[in-house]
Amino acid sequence: MLLSLAGLIVLNSPFKERLWPQPGDVPVEPVPPVEALHPVVAAKMTELIKLTSKAGITILITDGFRSSLEQDVLYEQGRTAKGQVVTNAKGGASYHNYGLAIDFALRTSEGDAIWDLTYDGNHNGKADWSEVVAIAKSLGFAWGGDWKSFKDYPHLQMDFGYSIDELKRGKRPPDDVKP
Ligand SMILES: [Zn+2]
């Protein structure tokens, strides 16, 4: 009787909102930083390397997880630092920062890394780059070459429906998320 009365008081008190998390609450516990590729992205990357190899194409993964600090350094390239602009994303604004993106290049038979969109190393009349992108898409990757504002041809990502804003707020795709 006393216990149920106490329960009633709690349920009807104005402090109720503070007892249970409300939608939109900032998480109390700090979100652990992402420090590696998401396991699903890593597995799909391995599959991509295998499948492209079967098609006679050797790819090189030039970037995967990137810390926010590394992203900031990259953002300055072509702006305050020398080189050409390679990203429009500052630290925390790229899927690389959450382990959800990879970049690739082609490797020629001579062993050189190239970013040539027309190279046909397996001599099947199709550009190797487009073949890699087609295989990547079949695995569930989205391609940066499809972006309207800034074409990022080496870039492949899996967002699992999470926006950058959600990721910034600490939301994370679970390890067993479906691509
Ligand atoms: Zn990228």
Residues 86-139: tens digit of each pLDDT: 999 999 999 999 999 999 999 999 999 999 999 999 999 999 999 999 999 999
Residues 24-41: tens digit of each pLDDT: 655 556 777 899 999 999
d(CA 138, CA 48): 10
- How far apart are the CA of 64 and the centre of ligand 1, in A? 8
Which residues are registered as beta bridge partners of 106?
A: 59, 114
- How far apart are the CA of 101 and the centre of ligand 1, in A? 6
DSSP string, 50-102: HHHHHTT-EEEEEE----HHHHHHHHHBTTTBSS----SPPTTSSGGGGT-EE
- How far apart are the CA of 156 and the centre of ligand 1, in A? 6
Domain 34-66+96-168 has CATH 3.30.1380.10: yes
> What is the reported pLDDT for 172?
94
d(CA 71, CA 88): 10
- How far apart are the CA of 50 and the centre of ligand 1, in A? 20
Count of helix runs (H) and strand runs (E) in the chain = 6, 5
> What is the reported pLDDT for 16?
46
Query: Do the bridges between strand 142-143 and strand 101-107 make them parallel or antiparallel, or are there none, so unpaired?
Result: unpaired
Domain boundaries, the chain: 34-66+96-168
- How far apart are the CA of 2 and the centre of ligand 1, in A? 61
Tell me the average pLDDT across 156-170.
Answer: 96
- How far apart are the CA of 155 and the centre of ligand 1, in A? 4
- How far apart are the CA of 124 and the centre of ligand 1, in A? 27
